[in-house]
């Protein structure tokens, strides 16, 4: 059940939050129960930034089509859940077609030879959203080979992997690769929040966004078609790490 925004306490937005690939049917209004755990978690922790990625291939539909009614009902509910929420429309840049209301999340190569192309994409997309200052997230899935990518994005997903395969050494902390722009997304995670890892990445390193899901990508499964088993506790841990 969605807790109305009026019940959430007003709080300043924190620096670090969660980047959630929200490839889940919201099921429809007014409660949007498919997204209920996320909406409830946002209401309980409104100061934690949430960047929610809506993927046309897993939800709203083909380019040029109208989104199913449940998305038309529930995306505004998600956007209104707290000022700290940003809804991102996913773009597979080899297709180059998408629409979004708050910003753009794009899969990118991260290669030096493609930087000018992606810079052009970002310069084209940014004015279309957020009253002319749209949010740009890029997903190379690993550290890009050219540090110039950090200058064109608000967030770079620099590590997307199995939880068991991730190492904090995967994150570059150099001044040319600001950790304040980096995100990590891990799948097949533990059933309870990895508090020591959260402490290292959020409290010590000041990573921009960190998300661990219990959903699995083993055997080619979609690891983003379900939310973590205890999302609220996880978001609470992200908040506590900044206390």
- C-alpha 47/C-alpha 170 separation (Å) is 28
Q: Render pLDDT for 183-228 as a digit per residue (tens, 0 to 9).
A: 999 999 999 999 999 999 999 999 999 999 999 999 999 999 999 9
120 or 132: whose pLDDT is higher? 120
Through-space distance between the first and last CA atoms of the chain, rounded to whole angstroms: 28
The pLDDT-based confidence of 107 (bands split at 50, 70, 90) is low
**Are 130 and 96 spatial neighbours (Cβ–Cβ below 8 Å)?**
no
Cα dihedral sign, 63-226-202-85: positive
Q: Average pLDDT of 75-89?
A: 94
Q: Render pLDDT for 7-16 as a digit per residue (tens, 0 to 9).
A: 334 457 899 9
Q: What is the pLDDT of residue 56?
A: 64
- Range 9-14 contact pairs with CB under 8 angstroms and sequence separation of 24 or more: 9/46, 10/46, 11/46, 11/47, 12/47, 13/47, 13/49, 13/83, 13/84, 14/47, 14/48, 14/49, 14/84, 14/239, 14/242
What is the percent of the chain where pLDDT is above 90?
A: 64
Q: What is the pLDDT of residue 60?
A: 59
- C-alpha 169/C-alpha 166 separation (Å) is 8
Top-ranked range on mean pLDDT: pick from 61-70, 75-84, 94-103, 140-149: 75-84
């Amino acid at each position: 059940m969605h807790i109305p925004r009026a019940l959430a306490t007003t709080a300043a937005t924190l620096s670090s939050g969660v980047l959630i690939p929200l490839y889940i049917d919201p099921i429809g209004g007014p409660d949007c129960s498919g997204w209920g755990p996320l909406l409830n978690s946002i209401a309980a922790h409104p100061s934690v930034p949430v960047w929610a990625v809506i993927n046309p291939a897993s939800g709203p539909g083909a380019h040029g089509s109208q989104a199913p009614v449940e998305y038309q009902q529930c995306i505004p509910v998600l956007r209104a859940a707290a000022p700290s929420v940003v809804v991102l429309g996913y773009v597979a840049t080899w297709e180059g077609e998408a629409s979004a209301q708050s910003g753009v999340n794009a899969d990118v190569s991260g290669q030096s030879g493609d930087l000018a192309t992606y810079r052009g994409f970002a310069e084209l997309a940014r004015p279309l959203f957020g009253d002319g200052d749209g949010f740009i997230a890029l997903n190379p899935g690993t550290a890009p080979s050219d540090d110039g990518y950090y200058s064109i994005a608000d967030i770079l997903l620099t590590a997307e992997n199995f939880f068991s395969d991730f190492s904090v050494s995967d994150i570059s902390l150099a001044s040319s690769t600001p950790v304040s722009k980096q995100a990590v997304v891990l799948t097949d995670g533990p059933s309870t929040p990895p508090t020591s890892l959260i402490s290292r990445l959020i409290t010590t390193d000041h990573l921009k966004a960190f998300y661990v899901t219990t959903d699995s990508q083993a055997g080619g499964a979609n690891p983003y078609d379900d939310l973590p088993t205890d999302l609220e506790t996880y978001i609470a841990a992200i908040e506590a790490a900044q206390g």
